[in-house]
Structure formats: structure tokens, C-alpha cells
Amino acid sequence: MAELKTQKNDASVADFIANVEPASRPADSERLIEIMSEITGDKPAIWGTSIVGFGSYRYVYASGRSGDWMITGFSPRKTALTCYIMAGFEHYN
């Protein structure tokens, strides 16, 4: 079975954020890091090459395939910030 490409790694979150574009995106990203760190109680980590994630959980599919994934995170893309809320919205007000 192929290994999941997007995995938590030791890349520097600060270095990654400092190099995102456009010029407003690093400040937006820093604010999201503050918010997500406060809510999750977890430190940010790079997942793959372009996602800042917080926390992790283990998933197992019916097929037996399993892996680890972030609880929440975001990707500061050039056109927009993309947020990932893995538990979905129905659990939150």
C-alpha cells in the first residue's frame, strides 16, 4: 500500500510562513497560528510541504489502511488561506 505523502515533519513553521506570498499572507498566517494554538493547546507543525497543522489523531479505514492526520490546520496558498477542520462543523457552535 502506498504511504501517505502528507505527513508531519520537522520543517520550520517560521521559515515556511516567512516565505509565503502575497505579502499579507505571513501576517494572516501568524494570526491563525495564534488562534489555532490557543484553541487546540498544540504547537504548530508542518505537514507535507504546505500545511501548518495542530495536534494529530490516528485513523483506520474499513480496508485496514491507517495513518496519522492533523486535528486542524491551514495552508497559506497564494490565492487564499485554506482551513482544515477535520472533525467537521457539526460538533461546534
- 18-29 pLDDT per residue, tens: 999 999 999 999
Q: Evaluate whether residue 29 is within a structural domain.
A: yes
Q: Evaluate whether residue 91 is within a structural domain.
A: no
Task: Check residue 22 and give its pLDDT.
Answer: 93
Q: Evaluate whether residue 2 is within a structural domain.
A: no
pTM of the model: 0.87
Domain range enclosing 80? 8-85
- 76-85 pLDDT per residue, tens: 998 999 999 8
Q: Evaluate whether residue 1 is within a structural domain.
A: no
Q: Evaluate whether residue 93 is within a structural domain.
A: no
Q: DSSP for 53-86?
A: EE--EEEE-TTS-EEEE-SEEEEE-SS-EEEEET
C-alpha cell at 9: 515533519
What is the count of structural domains for the chain? 1
Q: Evaluate whether residue 92 is within a structural domain.
A: no
Least confident of 1-10, 50-59, 66-75, 84-93: 84-93
Q: Evaluate whether residue 75 is within a structural domain.
A: yes
